[in-house]
Amino acid sequence: MSKPVRIFWRIFFWTLGGGILFLLMINWGWLGNMPSIDDIENPSASIASQVYAQDGTLMGKYYLNGEDRINVKYQDISKHVIHALVATEDERFYNHSGVDPRSLGRALVFLGREGGASTITMQTAKNLFTDNWSTRNIFLRMIQKIKESIIAIKLERNFTKEEILTLYLNTVAFSDNVYGIRNASKTFFQKEPDRLNIEESAVLIGMLKGATIYNPRRNPKLALDRRNTVINQMVRNEYLTEAEADMLKRKPIELNYKKLDETAGLGPYFRMILAEEMKKWCKENKKNNGDNYNLYRDGLKIYTTINPRMQQYAEEAVAKHMNFMQKLFNNQANIKNKTIWKGYENVLETAMKQSDRWKNLDRDGLSDEEIKKTFYEKVPMRVFAWNSTRETDTLMTPYDSIRYHRQMLQAGFMVMDPLTGEIKAWVGGIGFKSFKYDHVNFNTKRQVGSTMKPLLYSLAIEEAGFTPNTTVYDEQQSFGGYGMVPATSRSCQGGAMPMASALAFSRNCASAYIMKQLDSEGNNGAKRLVNFLERCDFKTKIEPYPSIALGSCEISLYEMMQGFSMFPGRGFNVKPMYIARIEDRNGNVLATFTPKRKEVISEVTAYSVVKMMQGTVQVGTGRGIWGYGMPSVEMGAKTGTTNENSDGWFMGYTPQLMAGAWVGADDRFIHFNKESAWGQGGRAAMPIWAYFFSKAAADPNCGIDKSARFVKPDVMSNDITIDYLNDSTPILGGEGEDVGTGTSQDYEVPQNIKLEDLGPESDVKINTPKIPEKKDGKTTPPPPADKPKAVLPKKPGGGK
């Protein structure tokens, strides 16, 4: 062999060996991360976790960095999507093994000007395993392409062509930060991907060439041209005829665009609280590989107890009443002339300095005086408004904007099953877009006012021998060093009355009398009540001051619902629950949740309190409820009002359903005048309950039996009969300590203020099961909705 030939073969083998070593180094991960065989056999992209209502309605999703992705199966994707994808992105997809030699050669010869070398399988490898990185460095780009090719070959060995197509369509990015074919289909056309027609499929596949430039929402003309190009490719690959294509290309793009974000979807306040609970769960639970679950990436499916129809009716009730209440409030003199802020200017000053505007300008180097000046200059802005969108554009100074929003009355409303504790509806405020603070959850506490009285009265019956007809005295009480309760005797009538009347008419002085009968020494009666509340599983620390008999303590609506559940629950207290089960992305059940009930009082005591609380709506402080469209049902309730009308409460229940409402401003000094009737629980909060129940009771899908009755315990031979004192009419403001009786003007509604029906804050399509016709006088409930489909394809042979 001549020397030149030897040199040639030496160079050839060295080059061949170097090339093989180079490929091996890439395959072994020496030149950048390389997925393991196990990773490739079990591909996993970040998947949004999904929240479902009780009937399977999708309430919302949790995801990070815009990666909103949900997986579907191959059979749940329209064949037109598959045809459009293969025809446009990889004509020889079914004939190669991950790398297409013809495409590779074309890319090398024309340097990519006539099309790239990436196959669908290589693009899938890039989406799943290379973090979609790209670079202009030719050497690094070459390494990336080789890596994609190696992974693509491995994918072809481990998955069928159908599974690879499914992986690709589940991971690819569409326009508007939408990931995966299901989300794209739902976002742009409000359809499941198996319902997409040819032209819709062509629009979505056309976006893959350029997610922004071919976005049909932003660039309809370019998107139309690209769609027609995809249709031409389908003709070229014999998926369509020329005649079919010509007809389709003449059609315009018909979008039905709606993107689900954190403010959209059902129950935004609820989903915010649920997210915090799920984060705790993820920290406490691990996957098979030892890692903790990630709410935003692991595609968890969270099935809640929320009834979507009740949630909708709850939001509508809050909107209808709070819109009306805000108009009344804005009509108040100290709101009109802004004197309500006298002495509280520091609140606005603090709010200014905590705002994003202040922080941004401070970061830009402006002095405090310069920043403050900008808060008094009118600028275009979007503010909360009581309309269908809960916002409006206006011209306002930032200072006035802060004052405007803080003067908004807020609300909290929660509905639950008193026997199981399942939460059916949760409305944490008047508008999630503008006000993120939730007013229902455990951490939001307000003075409970007279809603404390049923708890006190149940203790008196359970442990002190009281009955609904026990005589009590409506007189101010002295608790020694702890002072007088109530603080003033203005609302005390001084007479005797049955305990049932004291509850129905919310007599403060009579409640103080009952507290003292528990134990007359100092604050011992208050200590007994605090101990009782602890047995009821109240977690809030309550100090044993005698004034807690009138509800001076601060407790959350969430806890009050648990406390009141023992009355319709026949003595059993139940913890509110809102998660039914949690599944992983493949539908495997990770956790299930069951009611936690605890017997606190006897069934006789519970029934006795129920009978007394019926008096609230029959003759007492809540009797106005029947003027709000309420159907004739058996119910118990309690109103609550705190000093100077800062808090209005209404807690009510039927044998099947319980709900609680709170109304007030976030700043306690912002309230209806203390002489006004509109600040009381019977007017401020009760209508929300009534509006909600009237709609829910009329909807057969809510399953409310209007004829249901509270059941008398078997151990009671005779039912409880209550004689209410005829002259014990509710006194305006009697539930608060230092309020007057007001004037007739405090009850009148200005003619320009009308009730207005607004849609719910949530705007979600709710499943509508058909109610079967009655047979033999009975109605068969609708079958449960199918569980949503959202799984990654599995490895052939059963691998996950």
- Mapping DSSP onto H, E and C, the string for 250-281 reads CCCCCCCCCCCCCCCCCCHHHHHHHHHHHHHH
Q: Are 699 and 420 in contact (CB under 8 A)?
A: no
Q: What is the 3-state secondary structure (H, E, C) of 554-592?
A: EECHHHHHHHHCCCCCCCEEECCECEEEEECCCCCEEEE
Tell me: the pLDDT tens digits for 116-132? Answer: 568 888 887 777 766 54
Q: Are 788 and 52 in contact (CB under 8 A)?
A: yes
Higher pLDDT, 150 or 364: 364
pLDDT band at 796 (very low <50, low <70, confident <90, very high): very low
**What does pTM read for this prediction?**
0.80
Strand spans (E) along 29-147: 49-52, 58-62, 68-69
Q: Answer positive or negative: Cα dihedral of 223, 225, 227, 233.
A: negative
Range with top average pLDDT, 290-294, 403-407, 750-754: 403-407
Beta-sheet pairing, 301-304 with 49-52? parallel
Tell me: the pLDDT tens digits for 38-92? Answer: 555 555 567 889 999 999 998 988 887 666 777 888 999 999 999 999 999 888 8
- For the segment 482-504, the average pLDDT, to the nearest whole number, is 88
**The two structure tokens encoding residue 320:** 């209808």
DSSP string, 172-212: -B-STTEESHHHHHHHHHSS-GGG--HHHHHHHHHHTT-TT
| Whether residue 486 has a cis bond before it, omega within 30° of 0 | yes
pLDDT band at 799 (very low <50, low <70, confident <90, very high): very low
Give the per-residue pLDDT at 92: 87
Residue 409 CB: number of other CB atoms within 10 A?
A: 23
Give the per-residue pLDDT at 104: 59
Which residues, including other chains, have CB under 8 Å from residue 596's CB and lie 6 or more apart?
Answer: 421, 574, 575, 577
Give the per-residue pLDDT at 153: 80
39-76: b or e for each residue (b if 16 or more CB lie within 10 Å)? ebbebebbbbbbbbbbbebbbbbbbeeebbbbbbbbeb
Task: Tell me the sheet residues that pair with 795.
Answer: 799
pLDDT band at 586 (very low <50, low <70, confident <90, very high): confident
Q: Are 567 and 462 in contact (CB under 8 A)?
A: no
**The two structure tokens encoding residue 412:** 């909290």
Give the per-residue pLDDT at 740: 42
On average, the pLDDT of the chain sits at: 85
Which of 489, 528, 501, 518 lies closest to 615, judged by CA? 501
- For the segment 453-465, the average pLDDT, to the nearest whole number, is 96
Q: How far is CA 353 from CA 380, 672, 735, in A?
A: 20, 28, 38
Give the per-residue pLDDT at 561: 98
CA-to-CA distance for 302 and 718, rounded, in angstroms? 47
Give the per-residue pLDDT at 150: 76
> Is the pLDDT at 374 greater than 70, yes or no?
yes
With H, G, I as helix, E, B as strand and everything else as coil, classify residue 496.
strand
Percent of the chain with pLDDT over 70: 82
Q: Answer positive or negative: Cα dihedral of 90, 91, 97, 102.
A: negative
Give the per-residue pLDDT at 781: 44
Count, residues in the chain: 800
CA-to-CA distance for 730 and 712, rounded, in angstroms? 28
> Is the pLDDT at 742 greater than 70, yes or no?
no
